[in-house]
Amino acid sequence: MLEHSPLVWAEISVTDMNRAVAFYQTHFDLTFKQEVMNDMEMSIAETANIGDPSFALLKHDMMVPSRDGSTVYLHLSLTLNDKVNEIKAAGVEILLPPMPIKDGECGYIAIFIDSEGNKVGLWSQSL
């Protein structure tokens, strides 16, 4: 058994960084720190506490947005229903409407398609 959380970082592929940043800023009120590392263009979601796990929007030839593969679940709202209804009303495609995990004991999830065509999950403790 691990003695620490194994999740520390996630990267979401983008083809148009400006469009992706605008999408996440508009729908989730996030701020980003822009960086270039080697030949990777990154926009890192800023957190109040430096060192907290976070994610970046990443533009690079080896990264291709997709609906397939792993799903990153982001905790971007205290409740899920209102956020999902808000993004759906704005025209965001919802693949999985809010649903409970173990009857809500482990929170709630939903899945949407972002501006780049990625399948991205949302998680919240409350519906």
Residue 62's domain comprises: 9-124
Report yes or no: 40 and 87 within 8 Å, Cβ to Cβ.
no
- Tell me the CATH number at 51: 3.10.180.10
| pLDDT band at residue 8 using 50, 70 and 90 as cut-offs | confident
The bridge status of strand 40-45 relative to strand 9-13 is unpaired
pLDDT tens for residues 93-115? Answer: 999 999 999 999 999 999 999 99
Residue 1 lies in a domain: no
With a pLDDT cut of 90, the percent of the chain lying above it is 90
Q: What is the pLDDT of residue 52?
A: 87
Domain count, the chain: 1
Residue 4 lies in a domain: no
Among candidate residues 73, 34, 58, 74, the one with its CA nearest the CA of residue 116: 58
